[in-house]
Homo-oligomer: A and B are copies of this chain.
Amino acid sequence: MKNYRYKAILAYDGTDFAGFQVQKNARTVQGELEKVLSKIAKGEKIRVHGSGRTDAGVHARGQVIHFDFPFYIEPDGMQKALNGSTTKEITFTHVEQAADDFHSRYQAKGKMYKYTVDNNRFRDPFLRHFSCHHRYPMAMDPIQKALPYLTGKHDFTSFASTHGETAHNVRTIYHVRVEHDAASNKWTFTFVGNGFLYNMIRILMGTLLEVADGRRPASDIPLILEAKDREAAGKTSSPEGLCMEKVFYDVEDIPGYTTEGD
């Protein structure tokens, strides 16, 4: 039987999900998507493949999935059907028909994540699900000193959860940037790389927060990388601040791309 492969980009509020990946007895993004797609497919089970997992409480503005569908629906109609059937926590921002061999995970060349920190003394109630609250005043200078140590190809073992499954912990960060909005006292960190280890950005952030508020010098970063020991880095920061912004399938679209990561 002929199947039609679709690629879709979605945004979701991860607050009330136990993460992306299907789990028994837990409400997950993948589970919700497969349920809705099955309904549109008149009961046939549809398997959804994501570009990567997100943990409980982590959000996405640009998660990419693919799935095979048993009959043809034009992409705009598929997008309407999906947005009309799924929970308001999820929005399909783009749907297209994809090549039969398109794979959302295997063909991803890079990803962009953002991490938001609410640096107000008392938490902003509107950001509580979408930021990590850090009450100790942060300074731009030490952060700007720390970030260049992270770009390039490194063994990120020190910044990987020991629960991670990957044996090879070398990744390339193409681009990293910080912005501070003075009016709201919100800090936004952007990370672009060819891939990220389990909890890597949250451990990087836990460490950068120590640098930002003066508990640790920026020059610790290369020493932590060199240590290849999770104990050398800071805590794993909270999931609420993290958002998967974009998945790149063409290296030309990747900010700061170098062949170093290939």
B-binding residues in A (CB < 8 A): 11-13, 59, 61, 79, 83, 88-93, 122-126, 128, 130
Contact B128 A88 (CB under 8 A): yes
Taking CB atoms, residues of chain B closer than 8 Å to A89 are 125, 128
A-B residue pairs in contact (CB < 8 Å), sample of 24 = A11-B124, A11-B126, A12-B125, A13-B125, A13-B126, A13-B128, A59-B126, A61-B126, A79-B122, A83-B122, A83-B123, A88-B123, A88-B125, A88-B128, A89-B125, A89-B128, A90-B125, A91-B122, A91-B123, A91-B124, A91-B125, A92-B122, A93-B122, A126-B130
For the A-B complex with A61-B126, A91-B125, A93-B122 known, give 13 more contacts whose Cβ atoms are closer than 8 Å. Answer: A11-B124, A11-B125, A12-B125, A59-B126, A79-B122, A83-B122, A83-B123, A88-B123, A88-B125, A89-B125, A90-B125, A91-B122, A91-B123
Taking CB atoms, residues of chain B closer than 8 Å to A124 are 11, 91
Residue on B nearest A90 in the bound complex, by CB: B125
Taking CB atoms, residues of chain B closer than 8 Å to A130 are 126
Taking CB atoms, residues of chain B closer than 8 Å to A79 are 122
Taking CB atoms, residues of chain B closer than 8 Å to A83 are 122-123
Taking CB atoms, residues of chain B closer than 8 Å to A61 are 126
Taking CB atoms, residues of chain B closer than 8 Å to A125 are 11-13, 88-91
Taking CB atoms, residues of chain B closer than 8 Å to A88 are 123, 125, 128
User: For A11, A79, A92, which residue has the most chain B Cβ atoms within 10 angstroms?
Assistant: A11
Give the 7 A-B CB pairs with smallest separation, nearest first. Answer: A13-B125, A83-B122, A91-B122, A91-B125, A88-B128, A89-B125, A11-B125
Instruction: Determine the distance from Cα of A224 to Cα of B130 in the docked complex, in whole angstroms.
Output: 41
> A131 to chain B: closest CB distance in Å?
12
Instruction: Determine the distance from Cα of A59 to Cα of B128 in the docked complex, in whole angstroms.
Output: 14
User: For A61, A79, A125, which residue has the most chain B Cβ atoms within 10 angstroms?
Assistant: A125
Residue on B nearest A243 in the bound complex, by CB: B126
Taking CB atoms, residues of chain B closer than 8 Å to A126 are 11, 13, 59, 61, 130
Taking CB atoms, residues of chain B closer than 8 Å to A59 are 126
> A93 to chain B: closest CB distance in Å?
7
> A32 to chain B: closest CB distance in Å?
12
Instruction: Determine the distance from Cα of A82 to Cα of B20 in the docked complex, in whole angstroms.
Output: 36
> A65 to chain B: closest CB distance in Å?
15
Taking CB atoms, residues of chain B closer than 8 Å to A128 are 13, 88-89
Residue on B nearest A133 in the bound complex, by CB: B88
Instruction: Determine the distance from Cα of A259 to Cα of B163 in the docked complex, in whole angstroms.
Output: 67
